[in-house]
Homo-oligomer: A and B are copies of this chain.
Amino acid sequence: MNINISDEHCPLRRTLEIIGGKWTMLIIFQINERTIRYGELKRCIVGISEKMLISQLKFLCDKGFVHKKSFAEIPPKVEYTLTDIGKELLPVINQLIQFGLNHKF
Contacts and interface: CB of A to CB of B under 8 A. Distances in A.
Interface residues of A, number: 46
B46 A96 contact: no
A69 to B, nearest CB: 20
Interface in A4-30: 5-8, 10-16, 18, 20, 22, 25-26, 29-30
| Main secondary structure on A side of the interface with B | helix
A98 to B, nearest CB: 8
Contact of A46 (B7, B25, B101): B7
Interface of A: 1, 3, 5-8, 10-16, 18, 20, 22, 25-26, 29-30, 32, 34, 43-47, 63-64, 85, 88-89, 91-103, 105
